[in-house]
Amino acid sequence: FLVILGSVLGQQEIDLDTLELGRMFEGIGGISGGGATSKLLVNYPQKQRDEILDYLFKPNFGASLQILKVEIGGDAQSTDGSESSHMHYEWEENYERGYEWWLMLEAKKRNPDIKLYGLSWGFPGFLRRLDNTPFLNNTKTAEYIVKWVNAAKVFYNLTIDFIGIWNERPYEVDYIRILRKTLDSQGFQNVLLVVGDNSWEAVSDIHSDPDLAPLIYALGCHYPGTYAWDQAVFSGKPLWASEDYSTFNDNIGAGCWARILNQNYVNGYMTSTISWNLIASYYGGLPYERDGLMTAEQPWTGHYVVDNPIWISAHTTQFTEIGWHYLRHGTGVGKLDLGGSYVSILSPDKQDLTIVIETMQHDHSKCIRPNINWFEVKKQDIVINLKGELAKFTEMDLWFTQLGYDGNNSTVFQKLDTIKFVNGSFKLSLGLDQIYTLTTVKSGNHGSYPDPPAPKPFPLPYFDDFEGVQVYQEPFNLAQQAGSFEVLTDGKNKFVRQMLIDIPVMWCFAEQSGKGITYIGNYSWSDIFLEVDFRCSKVNASSGVFLASRLDRSGCDTQLTSGAFFGVYCDGAWTLHQSISGNELDHGTLDIHEEWNKLSLLIHGHQIMGASNGVGIFNETIHDIPGSGFAAFGTLTFGLADFDNLHIKTAE
């Protein structure tokens, strides 16, 4: 009778009980990598860097993330840059490269319970099969991955919880078997496999190959659009949205994140959702600008933005833990009659209960992919009834977000008055584009720091002699798009070396130009003077080096970039090109020293001038290059070459 009365009054009765529980909640996380998405975070001023890390990882502060997924650097372009491998060549290993070790340590420092998940996008050249897959020798590839897992433990005391196979690329079942065996034989039985970081297709292999199922812990699908294949649901495997979101982090992005965090479970029984990316810490102008939970793209000022996806995360993460259980569909999990959804998550001792409700409208919660069908959301009243053993809860904290659009203000992650259940019931009037958390957990907190410094564009003039960078690290502010650039020392002087000597297992096609290249500065730079010292290598040498400016393409389109390229071969030949892979404008020869040489490139309007060791080489007018873009240097072929003393200034 009450239910009927309720629907007559236009109010939905939601009965929560625990007669049967749903699936285990496995956490909300972010991805650093795939690729180079944390590149600029590393050289932030310490104060702002620590604040940012608190917003991401510190419990009861901000996003309070429960999973950190990182790229296992593979020396290949993987979206916003390439990340260094721990083995550039078969004969070496190095665990002081890149920033993912550091990031994992910072996350664990703040939350020792955070789960770590590693995944490869590319792989170094020595693992490359001719078809550009890492399955030339599955034992070697498995050992390469297990070395990374082992190094986490041995060098950093980090326990890796999950390992994936190959991001969004086909796996070989034979490789999965060998990887599982190699992990087990080296004492890593507790490192679980998530397969296949693409679609739900791995479920077919599980069905056709009963020996495979026990090797796989969870099925990971990317951008599932909140749905899972029936077969996947019936497989009994945990289902993860192992990469999702990737949406510009304004309020539509926040709305996307709110909707999928609930509905990935409501519609698709997914128990973990992981955002690409964790933090948008790469230059504006690179692909997928600001597609992270928050933004930090100015290490030179310390400016950062805590975007609303951080607070949307908090609505779930601050009031749950991995290992809690969703209530069952129909008894605490479901869709709202007039649009929107709700989930309820219960602690194992049943002493804590968290309910998250969202009423995001279609156009305010669009994600980058996939397109979803139209749906309506209307204002509505709901009554939450706590049944059975849940009736013991008489009070809950209430946390509220109203996302604003079209100039309307937002209220974000605010604690409202504590609510009281009367006879086990509480009535809530829901508006549009709102998120509510009802919870017995008392520790919720909207963390805050004073405003960070104001934004400013990349500062010019700019000079770097790389003396301030730790050896094996990437040079600050240089965003490698193909190849791997590391700071090394000869004992007295630090310099940058391009390390790759062959083409990696590519994730996309950025390396097809055959060049190593690292970008710096501002996408809107136009009249720029660049100068760098270079030295040809005596072993495993690149054929030469180049300086470039006004580069208009990057990421997985790096091989297509236009721009002015002044190349110098180690035999003394020079060239001027208008793109990375062709269109020669001029060429000649010049003198090269055994040791360091100075290379300069000035571009002003259509005028372009090059010099080497202070001697003018060319001075001409060109019309067919972009009006603005990034600056860069690199190697003309994969192979070693050294760089030092980078100068950049505005060309007057």
Size of site (CB under 6 A) for ligand 147? 13
Largest CA distance in the chain: 94
- Residue 265, H or E segment: helix 251-266
Instruction: Using the minimum distance from each CB to ligand 147, give the nearer residue, 26 or 243.
Output: 243
> Do the Cβ atoms of 330 and 337 come closer than 8 Å?
no
> Do the Cβ atoms of 554 and 287 come closer than 8 Å?
yes
Q: How far is the CB of 197 from ligand 147 (least distance, A)?
A: 8
- The reply on whether position 298 binds ligand 147 by CB under 6 A is no
What is the rounded CA–CA span in Å between residue 143 and residue 140? 5
Q: Which of 34, 134, 340, 475 binds ligand 147 (CB under 6 A)?
A: 34
Binding to ligand 147 (CB under 6 A) within 394-413 occurs at: none
Instruction: Using the minimum distance from each CB to ligand 147, give the nearer residue, 45 or 287.
Output: 287
What is the rounded CA–CA span in Å between residue 251 and residue 401? 11
> Do the Cβ atoms of 264 and 280 come closer than 8 Å?
no
- The reply on whether position 242 binds ligand 147 by CB under 6 A is no
Q: Which of 167, 251, 275, 434 binds ligand 147 (CB under 6 A)?
A: 167
- The reply on whether position 79 binds ligand 147 by CB under 6 A is yes
Q: Look at residue 258 and give its three-state secondary structure.
A: helix
- The reply on whether position 96 binds ligand 147 by CB under 6 A is no
Q: Which of 135, 288, 633, 638 binds ligand 147 (CB under 6 A)?
A: 288
> Do the Cβ atoms of 165 and 196 come closer than 8 Å?
yes
Q: How far is the CB of 248 from ligand 147 (least distance, A)?
A: 11
Q: How far is the CB of 199 from ligand 147 (least distance, A)?
A: 10
Which residue number has the CB closest to ligand 147? 34
Instruction: Using the minimum distance from each CB to ligand 147, give the nearer residue, 268 or 447.
Output: 268
349 φ, ψ to 5°? -85, 5
- The reply on whether position 243 binds ligand 147 by CB under 6 A is yes
Binding to ligand 147 (CB under 6 A) within 213-232 occurs at: 222-223
What is the rounded CA–CA span in Å between residue 575 and residue 559? 18
Tell me whether strands 21-24 and 411-420 are parallel, antiparallel or unpaired. Answer: unpaired
Q: How far is the CB of 606 from ligand 147 (least distance, A)?
A: 35
Q: Which two tokens stand for residue 435?
A: 């998120």
Angle at the Cα of 315 from the Cα atoms of 347 and 396, rounded to 5 degrees: 60
Q: How far is the CB of 515 from ligand 147 (least distance, A)?
A: 21
- The reply on whether position 47 binds ligand 147 by CB under 6 A is no
Q: How far is the CB of 572 from ligand 147 (least distance, A)?
A: 40
Mark residues 244-263: x for contact with ligand 147 by CB under 6 A, - for none. Answer: --x-----------------
- The reply on whether position 172 binds ligand 147 by CB under 6 A is no
- The reply on whether position 281 binds ligand 147 by CB under 6 A is no
- The reply on whether position 168 binds ligand 147 by CB under 6 A is yes
What is the rounded CA–CA span in Å between residue 126 and residue 143? 13
Instruction: Using the minimum distance from each CB to ligand 147, give the nearer residue, 33 or 516.
Output: 33
Tell me whether strands 192-198 and 218-222 are parallel, antiparallel or unpaired. Answer: parallel
Tell me whether strands 380-386 and 425-430 are parallel, antiparallel or unpaired. Answer: antiparallel
71 is catalytic: no
What is the rounded CA–CA span in Å between residue 476 and residue 451? 24
What is the rounded CA–CA span in Å between residue 352 and residue 364? 31
Q: How far is the CB of 164 from ligand 147 (least distance, A)?
A: 11
- The reply on whether position 162 binds ligand 147 by CB under 6 A is no
243 is catalytic: yes
For residue 537, CA distances in Å to 93, 497, 501, 531, 611 come to 21, 9, 12, 19, 21
Q: Where are the beta strands (DSSP E) in 341-405?
A: 341-346, 353-358, 380-386, 395-402
Burial class (CB in 10 A: 0-12, 13-18, 19+), 520: buried
- The reply on whether position 369 binds ligand 147 by CB under 6 A is yes
- The reply on whether position 170 binds ligand 147 by CB under 6 A is no
Q: Give catalytic residues, as residue numbers.
A: 168, 243
Q: Which residues form the interface with ligand 147 (CB under 6 A)? A: 34, 78-79, 167-168, 222-223, 243, 246, 276, 288, 368-369
